């Protein structure tokens, strides 16, 4: 069977109203979490949200991958992204299971799942960007190189000063920072490419969603270094919003082509 070609230009405008609705929903959810007086109830509610959002995105991704499995671009790329999102779901479940049992979830099997998200998502972005071979201006080239280097360097300095040694905790956090900053940089390149109309609005929205989740991962790494993370922390908004935006983008893929 001949691989399906992807149209040169996809036209399906972004519904910015829906993006504002997503913003309002995650903000409202965070306010609700703050309003809960019982910590156990609050933790459970956050955990359930942390399960639902990546799982919904993964399911949407598998639907797209299955529908366009024989296409020249979509099949393997979207399967990789879907598996990556599913790994985040497994990571959230594992983290919560360890925490609920009174065990330290850092490090644990949850990290294997979370870290698997980065190479799978990078593969997805790389495959799409490489296929369309965009012309990248010098400013974008500089940004995609400087961003991961700067984020990693800043974390390394601050973490070393806080921990006082390049020990396990240092490299544990560094693994997340390197993975998330590289994917974040690739997402920026994808967004810069996709907004030009070569891939259409759906890819732009997807790149934004991926950027939000990886930005959340970067923030989380800093919080863990300084022991400031909690299940009620607003960093969760980046993950919730990112997964919702990714789900919307995947729906647009299914609805467009």
pTM: 0.88
DSSP 4: B
Task: Give CA–CA dist 121/78, Å, rounded.
Answer: 9
Q: How far apart are CA 12 and CA 3, in angstroms?
A: 23
Dist CA 41 CA 33 (whole Å):
9
Q: Are 22 and 244 in contact (CB under 8 A)?
A: yes
Give pLDDT, residue 198.
Answer: 47
Q: Supply the pLDDT for residue 58.
A: 97
DSSP state of 234: T
pLDDT at site 195: 64
Burial of 102 (0-12, 13-18, 19+ CB in 10 A): exposed
Per-residue confidence in pLDDT tens, the chain, 257 aa: 444 444 444 455 778 888 899 999 999 999 999 999 898 899 999 999 999 999 999 999 999 899 888 877 778 999 999 999 999 999 999 999 998 999 988 899 999 999 999 999 999 999 888 877 667 778 888 888 999 999 999 999 989 888 888 888 899 999 999 999 999 999 888 877 766 554 567 778 888 899 999 999 989 988 888 888 888 899 999 999 999 999 998 888 766 55
121 and 95 in contact (C-beta within 8 Å)?
A: no
pLDDT at 164: 84
Residues 204, 208, 213, 217, CA torsion sign? positive
Q: What is the pLDDT of residue 241?
A: 95
Rg of the Cα atoms in the chain = 19
Report the pLDDT value the prediction gives residue 197, as an integer from 0 to 100: 57
């Amino acid at each position: 069977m001949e691989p399906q070609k992807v149209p040169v230009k996809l036209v399906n405008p972004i519904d910015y109203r829906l993006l504002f609705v997503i913003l309002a929903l995650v903000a409202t959810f965070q306010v609700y979490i703050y309003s809960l007086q019982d910590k156990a109830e609050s933790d459970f509610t956050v955990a359930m949200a942390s399960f639902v959002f990546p799982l919904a995105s993964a399911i949407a991704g598998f639907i797209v991958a299955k529908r366009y499995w024989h296409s020249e671009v979509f099949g393997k790329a979207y399967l990789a992204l879907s598996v990556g999102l599913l790994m985040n779901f497994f990571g959230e479940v594992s983290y919560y299971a360890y925490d609920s049992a009174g065990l330290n979830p850092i490090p644990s099997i949850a990290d294997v799942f979370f870290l698997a998200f980065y190479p799978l998502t990078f593969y997805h972005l790389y495959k799409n960007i490489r296929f369309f071979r965009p012309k990248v201006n010098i400013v974008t080239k500089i940004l995609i190189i400087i961003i991961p280097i700067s984020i990693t360097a800043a974390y390394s300095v601050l973490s070393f000063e806080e921990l006082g040694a390049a020990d396990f905790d240092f490299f544990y956090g560094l693994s997340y920072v390197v993975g998330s900053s590289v994917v974040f940089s690739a997402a920026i390149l994808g967004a810069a490419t996709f907004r030009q109309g070569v891939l259409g609005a759906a890819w732009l929205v997807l790149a934004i969603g991926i950027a939000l989740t990886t930005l959340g991962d970067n923030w989380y790494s800093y919080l863990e270094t300084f022991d400031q993370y909690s299940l009620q922390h607003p960093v969760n908004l980046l993950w919730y919003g990112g997964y919702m935006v990714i789900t919307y983008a995947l729906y647009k893929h299914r609805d467009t082509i």
